[in-house]
Structure 1
Amino acid sequence: MVDDGGVPAITSALLPGAAAYRLWGRDERPAFPDDGSPRSAESYYPPPDGSRFMINRIPPGELVPAPGVDVAAALAELDQLMPGAMACNDPDEPGMHTTDSLDYVLVVSGEITLELDDGESTVLRAGDVVVQNGTRHGWRNHGTEPCTIVGVAIGADRIA
């Protein structure tokens, strides 16, 4: 199957300037032969044996909603567009999140700081690659231009 259609951006008034593009996903382990047609991918992040392929655009600065944004309505909309994603976020530290997945991330453009649970942070630029192993982390754009990252998330079991 071939599809060259556009992928709509997932945006929110809670995250002005940010956009997520969910390109592909499946909730089960692949088996071949496979006709290549889209599979079920209910939650935003994959379950064990599932996978997701996505692009994220992160604007520079703090992601602060504009005054007057109905936060409850915006959260409900995000939960509909990105099922389960908000539950992975740390309510005490905005932007920090943990997923039960092995993530391969490529910085395509711009600059981004990856913050880890232990307080360590690393600045990444276009061409840099990160392999994230289910650790708590956050992405911060301290630069002046939007950053685009491409990621593949493979669902994993968390045993501890």
Structure 2
Amino acid sequence: ITGVFPETNNYRLLNNDNVVFNDVEYNLINDNERNNIGGLAELDALNQIIWNIENITDYLCKNPQITNVYFTRRPTGIWLQKWNELINSKCSKKIEYGAIYTPSAARLDGNPRMEMLIKHWLFNDNNNYLTLDHEWLIRNGVNPNNF
């Protein structure tokens, strides 16, 4: 997402990641409506989200050396739709796409949390997530076994 409300400034920001637009409250983080508060899918249905898919596709076309693209969440709902647009776009045929654990590590067990996050990115055995490309890391001076 590169922006919201592309043709208006007729909205009010609240201090909880929410906005009021046309007298309706929306959350700018949640995918869908929760507790009568709209989410990104509802704003998208109103054409109030500027997606970045075209810019990302152009970047991938200009950088054919990119072989992996990671999403820091499991794509569902409106995100799955946009994720699939990216996967099916030109220049995506030789790229592996998948999710890695979110950098916030909010629900990841262990302490220190950052150490657990790095280990998850490098060595997890959860089929819902990829691991970072070890060959690329090594070519760029990172030894995964140091973690």
**Structure 1-normalised TM-score?**
0.22
Bigger CA radius of gyration: 2
Higher relative contact order (CA 8 A, sep 6+): 1
**Structure 2-normalised TM-score?**
0.24
